């Protein structure tokens, strides 16, 4: 809706400026040719006299001006001044109301987005969306965030670092126009964090229609809607409420201390993660776990090996990794990054 209003305003602005320019040009043309043809005033002087007449500067009236010429001059002043005052008042109004600034700002955003490629679009910058944006910026990803009721000042106050890689767009992400403005066709992924499943599904459908190769992650509030998310083209639905509730209950029932809850948490200045890594087409194939020197070089641990429906917990150091397996790895975020660079590039 915001984009629709902006487009209407821009169209109205162009139309009014066009009317003003055509009107003033027409007055100049009619006035100049009248004085030149009927009053026999030289063309350059006729043009000059028309200009000072419209602007009401008043350098005096030519002595040879006829009665009809004086009446025409009076009419020219009224018509010309009306167009000038109309133009000035309208331009002053849009400057005071800040609408012109919004137009220029939208143009700047469009230019920045047009230069982006393989960026991530985040839909909804509430509590979840803001955290998603922060995590993406930590990985130095370029991010375009969309929100229907965007308060830039509040959002930016929650973004400690990487603001230069973030673009905020006030608009409705269910609209194709908004997604196109966000660079959906050259984006690599979209994360929608809206609290309404229907809206998330609609965003996914619209986005997938514009970019078939887009990787979509979505928040899902009701697990009964899971199949609808899959049909809509969502690659990875995440039930954030269920995940949070499981962690909360685990800490109470199992009486875990704060240091024991390490799924994806920051402890002091370090971030720990658990990742599931697909071995296919990586440098890990046919390697023994001992050869990888995970503890020494990366401060990582292989928690388990997954193969089809089999789950091997705590594989030995002599275990040989096969192509059709997945590894569950736990460790410090920095170590995981270095591990990815060294082993997870395609062979």
Q: Are strands 120-123 and 189-192 parallel, antiparallel or unpaired?
A: parallel
Task: For residue 36, name the pLDDT band (cuts at 50, 70, 90).
Answer: very high
Using a 10 angstrom Cβ sphere, with 0-12 exposed, 13-18 middle and 19 or more buried, the burial of residue 283 is: middle
CB 32 within 8 A of CB 47: yes
Whether pTM > 0.75 for this model: the answer is no
Of the two residues 164 and 263, the one the predictor is more confident about is: 164
| Domain boundaries of the chain, sorted by first residue | 2-102, 116-243, 262-343
Task: For residue 106, name the pLDDT band (cuts at 50, 70, 90).
Answer: confident
Q: Are strands 310-313 and 300-307 parallel, antiparallel or unpaired?
A: antiparallel
Residue 303 has pLDDT above 70, yes or no: yes
Residue 41 has pLDDT above 50, yes or no: yes
Percent of the chain with pLDDT over 70: 85
For all residues of the chain together, what is the average pLDDT?
A: 83
The pLDDT score that the predictor gives to residue 257 is 45
Task: For residue 261, name the pLDDT band (cuts at 50, 70, 90).
Answer: very low
Query: Measured between alpha carbons, how far is residue 16 from residues 13, 20, 21, 225 in Å?
Result: 5, 6, 9, 49
Q: Is 98 left (phi over 0), alpha (psi -120 to 50) or beta?
A: left
CB 54 within 8 A of CB 64: no
Contacts of 30 (CB under 8 A, 6+ apart): 76
Residue 110 has pLDDT above 80, yes or no: yes
Q: What CATH number labels 116-243?
A: 3.40.50.720
pLDDT, tens digit (0-9, with 9 covering 90-100), for 118-175: 999 999 998 889 989 998 998 889 999 999 888 888 888 888 888 899 999 988 999 9
In CATH terms, the fold of domain 2-102 is Helix Hairpins (1.10.287)
Domain 262-343 top-level CATH class = alpha beta
């Amino acid at each position: 809706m915001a984009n629709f209003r902006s487009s209407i305003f821009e169209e109205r602005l162009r139309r009014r400026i066009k009317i003003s320019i055509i009107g003033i040009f027409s007055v100049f043309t009619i006035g100049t040719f009248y004085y030149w043809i009927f009053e026999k005033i030289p063309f350059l002087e006729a043009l000059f006299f028309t200009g000072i007449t419209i602007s009401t500067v008043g350098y005096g009236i030519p002595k040879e001006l006829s009665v009809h010429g004086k009446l025409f001059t009076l009419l020219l002043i009224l018509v010309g001044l009306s167009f000038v005052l109309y133009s000035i008042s309208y331009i002053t109004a849009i400057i005071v109301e800040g609408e012109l600034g919004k137009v220029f700002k939208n143009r700047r955003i469009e230019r920045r987005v047009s230069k982006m490629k393989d960026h991530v679009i985040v839909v909804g910058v509430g509590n979840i969306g803001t955290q998603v944006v922060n995590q993406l910026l930590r990985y130095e990803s370029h991010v375009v965030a969309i929100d229907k009721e965007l308060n830039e000042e509040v959002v930016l106050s929650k973004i400690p670092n990487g603001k230069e890689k973030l673009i905020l767009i006030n608009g409705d992400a269910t609209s194709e126009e908004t997604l196109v403005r966000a660079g959906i066709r050259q984006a690599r992924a979209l994360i929608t964090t809206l609290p309404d499943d229907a809206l998330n599904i609609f965003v996914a459908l619209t986005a997938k229609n514009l970019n078939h190769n887009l990787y979509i992650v979505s928040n899902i509030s009701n697990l009964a809607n899971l199949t609808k998310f899959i049909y809509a083209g969502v690659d990875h639905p995440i039930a954030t409420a269920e995940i949070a509730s499981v962690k909360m209950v685990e800490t109470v029932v199992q009486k875990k201390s704060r240091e024991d809850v390490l799924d994806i948490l920051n402890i002091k200045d370090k971030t720990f993660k658990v990742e599931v890594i697909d071995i296919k087409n990586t440098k890990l194939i046919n390697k023994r776990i001992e050869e990888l020197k995970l503890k020494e070089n990366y401060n990582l641990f292989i928690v388990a090996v997954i193969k089809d429906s089999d789950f091997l917990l705590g594989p030995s150091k002599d275990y040989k990794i096969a192509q059709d397996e997945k590894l569950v790895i736990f460790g410090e975020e920095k170590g995981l990054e270095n591990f990815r660079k060294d082993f997870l590039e395609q062979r």
